[in-house]
Chains A and B, each alone.
Chain A
Amino acid sequence: MALQDICDFQDIFLDRGTSSLPFGKKTGFNYMRGLPFSNSTSLFNFYIPVAEYLDKSPLEFGQISPIQSASTPLSQDVTLPSLSLPENPLLSSPQPVSLPFPISHGTTTLAFIFQGGVLAAADTRSSCAGYVEGPAAQKILPIHSHMVSTTSGTSADCALWKRILSRELRLYQLRHGRRLSTSGAAKLLSHMLHPFKGTELCVAAIMCGWDGGEVHGHLDDTGGTKTDPGGCTETTKEIDKSVDPSLEKTQSSFSSVGGQQPLAREKRNGSGPCMFYVCSDGTRLQGNLFSVGSGSPYAISVLDQGVKWELTLDEATSIAREAVYRATHRDAYSGNHVDIYHISSKGWIRRSREDLKEEYYREKERRERGIRQIMTLSEENMKQTKMA
């Protein structure tokens, strides 16, 4: 619905009645049915090529049912089977067109919660199958004054979906008089991406926000159903714990360190820092520490040894910078600069972009100083032993 409003303009040129084009079909379906604030039944149109010369045998991929395979694409049948089915029609399309060009990918992003709020950091390299397309890309995108989203995956997908999410959150704020919580925003994004599960759309975002402030009334520590807008209540904490064991089985490219600071958490009553990882394959997880991207294994090891609840802002910033620096050093697809954002109760603050080349020289300097100290110490020792 939202994407169609922004992206789809073809309705002006095409008669609304016909939905078959010489080279393909427009598939439409109502994917936002049932959500509380979607009051239009507009169709979501993405142009997908279904011409017969692009088809291999559709049943090969086991993606469409025998009923659908009977209808030939050339027939001018306006009642497409996909319109009547509530399932995802994109899954039932034949093999997508193979692209002659690669799309931007590869990154290191991380975020963690500490006593001062949420800290998010990311590198700035946007690469395209070996060529650095953008050495100064922006991977941390602000959603609203108190929420920021780190993005990984295809940059076009991330940019567009973040734009749509900002729009929907703003509409929610105008309709209901309060900001949607991080949990709600993450759920909204997850539901918006769900129709595209199985396609090559790739978005892996960490939503970092500070909830609460103007939330009144029905928030309880004991209460909290899933629809409660205050995301960080007791029930979600339990869900977080139960999800943890299953994390071992999932990809090792991120980890969630949940439930390690029970003392500090219990004090919160629905407001405070909150973090969710949302992925286009349907994952939605709450946690205290995440790292996403091709360089995340390197960043995670640095974060695991240093992140504590009691960190000061400066310590947290230097750990985040160190983690991204190590990841960019080892991962070819990450590099250039590091962006650090801090989200507190007053909103998000962006630190100036730092060139990691400087960090490399600073570290070299530190190492040389360290070696020199060791040398002088050992010389003194030798002198003492000689004298003694």
Chain B
Amino acid sequence: MISSQSFGESGKMKEYHYSGPVEQRFSPYSFNGGTVLAVAGEDFAIVASDTRLSEGYSIHSRDSPKCYKLTDTTVIGCSGFHGDCLTLTKIIDARLKTYKHSNNKTMTSGAIAAMLSTILYGRRFFPYYVYNIIGGLDEHGKGAVYSFDPVGSYQRDTYKAGGSASAMLQPLLDNQIGFKNMEGVEHVPLTQDKAVQLVKDVFISAAERDVYTGDALRICIITKEGIKEQTIPLRKD
């Protein structure tokens, strides 16, 4: 019998006892960290993610971006379990190709979002552990952001943060882009340059406070001209 005593809260002694072998089940999931962000503007959309791939206390890679280009007007950001992210993007790519060949047109952002919802729900009882955010332009050329939960519930937003630092970033975006919780402020529509600068600032803050976010920031800016990518370094510690 092994027992050790240590001080718990309020100065009382806590006792640890060896109470028998504990079975550790194999978990098919693992959390690989990472944060994804998407912002929709009047005629543009931005999808940004950090590029750190971690697991527990280790960093597997500093150059593993989480934004994947689907079509010329749509980018998806996936964070969570990297294995499921890869498989999910492969399935989405295959479905996009099939649609293109059957219908002779590219899928619109809204259609991709609806399709992804059903793909995720098809695995309702063994879900893909992925937090998805789709950013792109809709049929009218306006920016669109669709955010998902792991089992397929989705809605269209103007901005959304997902992943490990989402709880820190979302309130900041609510305030700066949605002008929420502020009185007497003029609601100025977001320009592309201001949006890009905001995304950079927000990720720098996230890297300060979230251990799973850092290394570099990959920004994809989607306009009707196409998709431009930028990479900005972040804290590496």
Q: Does A155 contact B (CB under 8 A)?
A: yes
Contacts of B149 in A (CB 8 A): 103-104, 128, 133, 155-156
B73-84 CB mask vs A (1 if < 8 Å, else 0) is 000000010000
Q: A53-B26, A100-B129 are in contact. Are A9 and B151 (CB under 8 A)?
A: no
CA distance in complex: A100, B129 (Å): 8
Partner of B121, one of A53, A101, A156: A156
Contacts of B155 in A (CB 8 A): 134, 136-138
Q: B28 contacts A7, CB within 8 Å?
A: no
Partner of A46, one of B26, B124, B129, B150: B124
Q: Does B57 contact A (CB under 8 A)?
A: no
Partner of B152, one of A23, A46, A101, A159: A159
Q: Does A97 contact B (CB under 8 A)?
A: yes
Contacts of B119 in A (CB 8 A): 7, 9
Of all chain B residues, the one with the shortest Cβ separation from A46 is: B125
A326-356 CB mask vs B (1 if < 8 Å, else 0) is 0000000000000000000000000000000
Q: Does A96 contact B (CB under 8 A)?
A: yes
A352 to chain B, nearest CB (A): 18
Q: Does A160 contact B (CB under 8 A)?
A: yes
Contacts of A9 in B (CB 8 A): 91, 95, 119, 122
Q: A104 contacts B153, CB within 8 Å?
A: yes
CA distance in complex: A47, B31 (Å): 21
B49 to chain A, nearest CB (A): 18
Q: A49-B28, A103-B150 are in contact. Are A160 and B127 (CB under 8 A)?
A: no
**A-B pairs under 8 A by CB, number:** 90
Scoring A24, A99, A137, A158 by chain B CB atoms within 10 A of each residue's CB, the highest score goes to A99
Q: A98-B27, A160-B118 are in contact. Are A103 and B151 (CB under 8 A)?
A: yes
A98 to chain B, nearest CB (A): 7
CA distance in complex: A48, B28 (Å): 13
Of all chain A residues, the one with the shortest Cβ separation from B152 is: A156
CA distance in complex: A47, B122 (Å): 8
A55 to chain B, nearest CB (A): 10
- Contacting residues of chain A (277-294) with chain B, CB-CB under 8 angstroms: none
Q: A6-B118, A53-B26, A97-B28 are in contact. Are A47 and B125 (CB under 8 A)?
A: yes
Of all chain B residues, the one with the shortest Cβ separation from A132 is: B170
Q: Does A239 contact B (CB under 8 A)?
A: no
Of all chain A residues, the one with the shortest Cβ separation from B181 is: A357
Q: A96 contacts B125, CB within 8 Å?
A: yes
Q: Does B167 contact A (CB under 8 A)?
A: yes
B118-149 CB mask vs A (1 if < 8 Å, else 0) is 11111111110100000000000000000001
Q: Interface size class for chain A?
A: 35 or more
A35-67 CB mask vs B (1 if < 8 Å, else 0) is 000000000001111000110000000000000
Contacts of B31 in A (CB 8 A): 100
- Contacting residues of chain A (162-211) with chain B, CB-CB under 8 angstroms: 199-201
A130-148 CB mask vs B (1 if < 8 Å, else 0) is 0101101110000000000
Q: A103-B149, A159-B153 are in contact. Are A131 and B126 (CB under 8 A)?
A: no
Contacts of B228 in A (CB 8 A): none
B181 to chain A, nearest CB (A): 10
Contacts of A160 in B (CB 8 A): 117-118, 121, 152
Q: Does B12 contact A (CB under 8 A)?
A: no
B116 to chain A, nearest CB (A): 11
Q: B151 contacts A154, CB within 8 Å?
A: yes
B152-190 CB mask vs A (1 if < 8 Å, else 0) is 111100000000000100000000000000000000000
- Contacting residues of chain A (194-238) with chain B, CB-CB under 8 angstroms: 199-201
Scoring B91, B117, B122, B129 by chain A CB atoms within 10 A of each residue's CB, the highest score goes to B122
CA distance in complex: A126, B147 (Å): 13
Q: Does B25 contact A (CB under 8 A)?
A: yes
Contacts of B120 in A (CB 8 A): 156
Contacts of A131 in B (CB 8 A): 167
Q: Does A90 contact B (CB under 8 A)?
A: yes
B42 to chain A, nearest CB (A): 20
Contacts of A100 in B (CB 8 A): 27, 29, 31, 129
Q: Does A359 contact B (CB under 8 A)?
A: no
Q: A155 contacts B95, CB within 8 Å?
A: no
Q: A24 contacts B126, CB within 8 Å?
A: yes
Of all chain B residues, the one with the shortest Cβ separation from A126 is: B153
Q: A157 contacts B124, CB within 8 Å?
A: yes
A93 to chain B, nearest CB (A): 8
A144 to chain B, nearest CB (A): 19
The 8 closest A-B pairs by CB, nearest first: A7-B122, A156-B153, A155-B153, A156-B151, A156-B152, A7-B118, A53-B26, A160-B121
Q: Which residues of A contact B (CB under 8 A)?
A: 6-10, 12, 23-24, 46-49, 53-54, 90, 96-101, 103-104, 126, 128, 131, 133-134, 136-138, 154-160, 199-201
Between-chain CB contacts (< 8 Å), 8 pairs: A10-B122, A47-B125, A54-B25, A99-B29, A100-B31, A131-B167, A155-B153, A160-B121
